[in-house]
């Protein structure tokens, strides 16, 4: 009996000892791998009202909603611009895009927009032990302006801080319609070289303009040049047949690359910029998603993107990474229905409000141009909540520097880490927003748009651009739909914003 008790006692002590050692090695492991992984999931043209977690009724996005539910959902989150290239420039450099005179929607053969001397988010992370990658839409230019697509194209993402880059060069409606991995066209047959030209066509090549009989999707405005997969694109292209992407497979393709990167790099801290192409035109969902909404292809590709995000999140979960990964989800600019193709986005929109209650859309200085879905999730670190803090994508750069205790870079990016982590509802107090090289100024709840000449509406896309011959002043808290111009009623507010704005944009 005594012997037995002694035995029990001894085994208990051994068991406790084991537990203690395994516990302390776990804690040690956690400190060793303490630097959190950072992932930015970035959508293309997704509007403030396009997700069910932001109020959409006609589109169900359960997977993206889960990010909102498990993290912070910002109600005042902004891209830096109402178009793609400038927003992406600000995201990666922390600099206002209008400070770079070339930061506008780029053609598919435009040179690299980010100077290779410039400090960038991926460069900073790479220098501090992160493995860095971009997967998906690039649209920040490649090469020096004279690209030979049959050789390694540089400089590009690899030269501004991404160790691994698997991208589309520009947009899914622009040539070249091929994937590029670390500067080389994927699957290119040397005997069928690729040529790209944005000014003139190659002899004998069909175009959307001349050969409507070859089209499976018709163009509405622009988009009438080279035809790839029955879809007319922007720009001319010839050759490279074996390398052409398949639009229907694109979502799954990028997803697979993003998942592989995570699986292969999970042992060391990594930074992944996963830039989805949806719901930018042309909207070509995989057949599995056709009809998943009643809104036609635009709704269907949002559901497809939601699926891809869900699969990606499952991978993070399976690999045990959720507790050590900061995930930021947002969009590069606001929504547009008809962006150049007859794809039923406008005719089948029904009651859906892609911008929610906001006014304007993509290309606009009105709020829907850059006010987008924005969420941060980090299991165990960020408490689930909704935040009204004013946060901008330009601030991600220095906020991450602060998170990792790295030197902040002297640029437009503000350290608002506490807001991103949900520790305060105070974000930045003001910022300048850009739309096609025009600027507006937000300060607190107020938005001021200075007078601009030019068409107030882009009739092709049916979006108010926010331009007027007079000053516009809105209180976005009281009037999120910007129905009342208060510039006459609040001259002192107008004067204050004018003054601050002029100081901020001096030299522009």
| Interacting residue ranges for ligand NG6, rule: CB under 6 A | 44-45, 83-84, 105, 139, 171, 173, 221-223, 234, 280-281, 333, 339-340
How far apart CA 361 and CA 369 sit, in angstroms, is 5
Write out the DSSP string of 275-338. E--TTSSS----GGGTTSSSS-HHHHHHHHHHHHHHHHHHHHHHTT-GGGEEEEEEESS---S-
The distance of closest approach from Cβ of residue 251 to Ca ion in the complex, given in angstroms and rounded to an integer, is: 16
Q: Which is nearer to ligand NG6, 302 or 419 (CB)?
A: 302
Site size with Ca ion, rule: CB under 5 A: 5
The whole-angstrom distance between residue 421's C-alpha and the CA centroid of its chain comes to 19
Q: Which is nearer to ligand NG6, 175 or 377 (CB)?
A: 175
The distance of closest approach from Cβ of residue 61 to ligand NG6 in the complex, given in angstroms and rounded to an integer, is: 20
**Burial call 394-428: b when 16+ CB within 10 Å, e when fewer:** bbbbbbbbbbbeeebbebbbbbbbebbbbeeeebb
How far apart CA 78 and CA 87 sit, in angstroms, is 10
Among 50, 109, 306, 332, binds Ca ion (CB under 5 A): 332
Q: Which residues contact 500 (CB under 8 A, 6 or more apart)?
A: 430, 441, 443
Nearest residue to 394 via CA among 423, 428, 422: 428
The distance of closest approach from Cβ of residue 139 to Ca ion in the complex, given in angstroms and rounded to an integer, is: 8
Q: Which of ligand NG6, Ca ion, none has residue 222 at its interface (CB below 5 to 8 Å by kind)?
A: ligand NG6
Sign of the dihedral defined by the CA atoms of residues 378, 384, 385, 386, in that order:
positive
Q: Which of Ca ion, ligand NG6, none has residue 95 at its interface (CB below 5 to 8 Å by kind)?
A: none
Location of structure tokens 């850009």: 434
The distance of closest approach from Cβ of residue 327 to ligand NG6 in the complex, given in angstroms and rounded to an integer, is: 22
Q: Which is nearer to ligand NG6, 44 or 65 (CB)?
A: 44
333 binds Ca ion (CB under 5 A): yes
368 binds Ca ion (CB under 5 A): no
Retrieve residue 42's tokens. Answer: 């970035």
How far apart CA 282 and CA 68 sit, in angstroms, is 27
Q: Which of ligand NG6, Ca ion, none has residue 257 at its interface (CB below 5 to 8 Å by kind)?
A: none
Q: Which of ligand NG6, Ca ion, none has residue 109 at its interface (CB below 5 to 8 Å by kind)?
A: none
The residue nearest ligand NG6 at its CB is 222
The distance of closest approach from Cβ of residue 23 to ligand NG6 in the complex, given in angstroms and rounded to an integer, is: 50
**Residue 248 burial (10 A CB sphere; 0-12, 13-18, 19+):** middle
306 binds Ca ion (CB under 5 A): no
84 binds Ca ion (CB under 5 A): yes
Nearest residue to 178 via CA among 233, 226, 241, 259: 241
- Only one of the segments 114-122, 326-334, 413-421, 477-485 lies at the binding site for Ca ion (rule: CB under 5 A); that segment is 326-334
Q: Which of ligand NG6, Ca ion, none has residue 173 at its interface (CB below 5 to 8 Å by kind)?
A: ligand NG6
Which x/- pattern, by CB under 5 A, does the window 36-55 give for Ca ion?
--------xx----------
Q: Which residues bind Ca ion (CB under 5 A)?
A: 44-45, 84, 332-333
């Amino acid at each position: 009996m005594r012997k037995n008790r002694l035995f029990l006692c001894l085994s208990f002590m051994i068991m406790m000892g084991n537990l203690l050692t395994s516990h302390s090695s776990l804690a040690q492991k956690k400190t060793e791998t303490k630097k959190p992984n950072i992932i930015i999931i970035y959508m293309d043209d997704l509007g403030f009202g396009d997700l069910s977690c932001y109020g959409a009724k006609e589109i169900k996005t359960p997977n993206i909603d889960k990010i909102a539910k498990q993290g912070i959902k910002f109600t005042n989150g902004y891209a830096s611009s109402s178009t793609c290239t400038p927003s992406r420039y600000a995201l990666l450099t922390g600099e206002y895009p209008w400070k770079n005179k070339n930061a506008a929607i780029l053609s598919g053969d435009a040179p690299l927009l980010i100077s290779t001397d410039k400090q960038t988010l991926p460069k900073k992370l790479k220098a501090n032990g992160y493995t860095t990658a971009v997967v998906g839409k690039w649209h920040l230019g490649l090469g020096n302006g004279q690209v030979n697509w049959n050789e390694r194209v540089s400089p590009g993402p690899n030269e501004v801080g991404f160790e691994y880059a698997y991208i589309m060069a520009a947009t899914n409606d622009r040539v070249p319609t091929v994937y590029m991995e670390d500067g080389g066209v994927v699957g290119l047959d040397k005997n069928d070289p690729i040529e790209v030209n944005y000014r003139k066509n190659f002899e004998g090549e069909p175009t959307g303009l001349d050969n409507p009989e070859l089209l499976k999707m018709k163009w509405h405005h622009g988009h009438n040049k080279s035809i790839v997969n029955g879809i007319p694109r922007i720009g001319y292209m010839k050759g490279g047949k074996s390398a052409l992407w398949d639009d229907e497979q694109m979502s799954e393709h990028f997803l697979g690359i993003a998942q592989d990167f995570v699986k292969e790099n999970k042992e060391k801290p990594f930074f992944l910029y996963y830039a989805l192409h949806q719901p930018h035109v042309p909207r070509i969902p995989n057949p599995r998603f056709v009809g998943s909404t009643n809104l036609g292809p635009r709704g269907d590709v949002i559901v497809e993107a939601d699926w891809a995000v869900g699969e990606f999140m499952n991978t993070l979960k399976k690999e045990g990474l959720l507790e050590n990964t900061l995930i930021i989800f947002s969009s590069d600019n606001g929504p547009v229905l008809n962006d150049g193709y007859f794809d039923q986005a406008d005719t089948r929109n029904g009651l859906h409000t892609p911008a929610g209650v906001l006014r304007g859309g993509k290309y606009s200085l009105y709020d829907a141009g850059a006010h987008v879905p924005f969420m941060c999730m980090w299991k165990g670190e960020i408490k689930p909540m909704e935040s009204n803090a004013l946060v901008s994508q330009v601030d991600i750069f220095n906020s991450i520097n602060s998170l990792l205790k790295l030197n902040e870079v002297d640029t437009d990016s503000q350290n608002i880490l506490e807001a991103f982590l949900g520790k305060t509802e105070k974000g930045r107090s003001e910022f300048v927003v850009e739309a096609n090289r025009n600027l507006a100024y937000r300060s607190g709840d107020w938005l001021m748009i200075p007078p601009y000449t030019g068409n107030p509406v882009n009739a092709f896309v049916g979006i108010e651009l926010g331009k007027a011959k007079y000053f516009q002043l809105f209180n976005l808290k009281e009037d999120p739909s910007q129905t009342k111009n208060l510039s006459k009623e609040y001259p002192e507010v107008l004067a204050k914003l004018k003054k601050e704005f002029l100081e901020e944009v001096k030299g522009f």
